[in-house]
């Protein structure tokens, strides 16, 4: 049985999920770092431990319904509770409606939409039993604004936003809070691999262009997203549910 708050962070092996895991560990929480790649999850765990925190790595494909349920049930059995779920695992996709083949749409749906459903459904019963819990979903500016060439990705992040509202509504009387955060461009391996794949000869130039898309003139940092999620998972945020938090350098409201 764990006396610390037990928090699951999906996609915790890289980028934003890595920073969220470190931030939650700094709030004395026990972190279960879930990722497709056990190796990268373990790297995050090692860093948390080197900073004096407690964590463990779990390999899981969140798009697998049955496996997600079994894995999260095992976590609840082992630790006696699940206090926090951060649904952060996600994949990108570039292309307009016409440039998005069916298998690409299905792949993005399976990870970004069904992954959130799988993980949230697998924890909510445990949280109901406790009559407490926090779920934070990783949305995006693409949840609410038209972004060029991001048809499948926008479809998935719009669903993340509305699943957030739905979960918040249905479980408000069970002591469960559910919110989402909606970053603009954040400098992570996600961005680096996008640039290397799509603009191999203009990486620096395109990095600059992407930075300037945010009115504030730069990309966000994973650490900044981690700090917001840490707050939303804390007891200080106990009056906040059913809300979406843009963290976007002014992208949505002051872009012109
Ligand atoms: N980086 C950005 O600019 C940005 C902006 C807005 C929203 N987001 C969202 O933030 C989240 C994290 O993005 P990032 O930039 O840190 O990406 P990243 O690629 O650096 O990290 C994503 C992590 O998720 C893991 N993952 C992918 N599919 C998985 C699956 N099926 N099961 C388990 N783990 C899986 C990957 O292995 C990786 O470790 C994503 O949901 C992304 O859509 C990112």
- Tell which one of 158, 188, 193, 220 to mutate to probe ligand 1, the residue whose CB is within 8 A of the most ligand atoms: 188
Query: Does the structure show a pLDDT above 80 at 2?
Result: no
Q: Is 11 in the pocket of ligand 1 (CB under 6 A)?
A: yes
pLDDT at 198: 86
Question: For residue 31, which of 73, 180, 11 has the smallest C-alpha distance?
Answer: 11
Question: For residue 170, which of 133, 140, 143, 115 has the smallest C-alpha distance?
Answer: 133
Q: What is the average pLDDT across 1-15?
A: 92
pLDDT in tens, 107-129: 999 999 999 999 999 999 999 99
CA of 221 to the centre of ligand 1 (A): 14
CA of 138 to the centre of ligand 1 (A): 9
Query: Does the structure show a pLDDT above 80 at 256?
Result: no
Structure tokens at 113: 């939409």
Nearest-atom number in ligand 1 for the CA of 153 is: 43
Q: Which protein residue's CA is at the shortest distance from atom 24 of ligand 1? A: 11
Q: Which protein residue's CA is at the shortest distance from atom 2 of ligand 1? A: 186
CA dihedral 95, 37, 31, 183 (to 10 degrees): -10
CA dihedral 204, 208, 209, 212 (to 10 degrees): 170
- Between the two ends of the chain, the Cα-to-Cα distance in Å is 52
CA dihedral 97, 103, 107, 109 (to 10 degrees): 50
pLDDT at 255: 84
Lay out the sheet containing 54-59: strands in order across: 54-59, 30-35, 6-10, 84-87, 133-138, 176-183, 244-247
Nearest-atom number in ligand 1 for the CA of 13 is: 39
- What is the set of domains in the chain, with CATH numbers? 6-186+222-255 (3.40.50.720)
Q: Is 191 in the pocket of ligand 1 (CB under 6 A)?
A: yes
Q: Is 241 in the pocket of ligand 1 (CB under 6 A)?
A: no
Q: Which protein residue's CA is at the shortest distance from atom 40 of ligand 1? A: 90
pLDDT at 194: 87
Q: Is 111 in the pocket of ligand 1 (CB under 6 A)?
A: yes
Q: What is the average pLDDT across 212-226?
A: 97
Mean pLDDT in the chain?
A: 97
Residue, of 3 and 119, whose pLDDT is higher: 119
pLDDT in tens, 12-61: 999 999 999 999 999 999 999 999 999 999 999 999 999 999 999 999 99
pLDDT at 1: 64
* Catalytic annotation, residues: 153
pLDDT at 226: 98
CA of 190 to the centre of ligand 1 (A): 7
Query: From the CB of residue 106, how many other CB atoms can be counted at a distance below 10 Å?
Result: 12
Q: Is 210 in the pocket of ligand 1 (CB under 6 A)?
A: no
- Measured CA to CA, the distance from residue 163 to residue 117 in angstroms comes to 8
- Entry pTM: 0.97
CA of 247 to the centre of ligand 1 (A): 16
Q: Is 116 in the pocket of ligand 1 (CB under 6 A)?
A: no
Q: Which residues pair with 199 in a beta bridge?
A: none
Q: Is 13 in the pocket of ligand 1 (CB under 6 A)?
A: yes
pLDDT in tens, 150-159: 999 999 999 9
pLDDT at 211: 96
């Amino acid at each position: 049985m764990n006396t610390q708050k037990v928090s699951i962070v999906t996609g915790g092996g890289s980028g934003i999920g890595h920073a969220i895991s470190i931030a939650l560990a700094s709030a004395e929480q026990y972190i279960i770092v879930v990722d497709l790649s056990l190796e990268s999850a373990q790297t995050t765990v090692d860093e948390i431990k080197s900073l004096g925190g407690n964590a463990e790595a779990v390999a899981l494909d969140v798009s697998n319904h049955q496996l997600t349920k079994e894995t999260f049930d095992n976590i609840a059995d082992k630790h006696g509770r699940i206090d926090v779920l951060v649904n952060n695992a996600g994949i990108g996709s570039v292309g307009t409606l016409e440039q998005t083949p069916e298998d690409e749409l299905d792949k993005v749906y399976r990870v970004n939409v069904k992954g959130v459903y799988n993980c949230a459904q697998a924890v909510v019963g445990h949280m109901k039993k406790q009559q407490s819990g926090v779920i934070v979903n990783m949305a995006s500016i693409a949840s609410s604004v038209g972004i060029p060439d991001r048809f499948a990705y926008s479809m998935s992040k719009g669903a993340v936003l509305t699943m957030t509202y739905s979960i918040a509504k249905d479980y408000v009387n069970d002591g469960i809070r559910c919110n989402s955060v909606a970053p603009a461009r954040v400098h992570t391996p996600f961005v680096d691999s996008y640039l290397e794949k799509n603009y191999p000869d203009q990486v620096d130039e395109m990095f600059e262009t992407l930075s300037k898309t945010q009115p504030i003139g730069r990309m966000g940092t994973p650490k900044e997203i981690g700090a917001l999620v840490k707050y939303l998972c804390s007891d200080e945020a106990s009056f906040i549910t059913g809300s979406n938090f843009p963290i976007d350098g002014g992208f949505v409201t002051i872009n012109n």
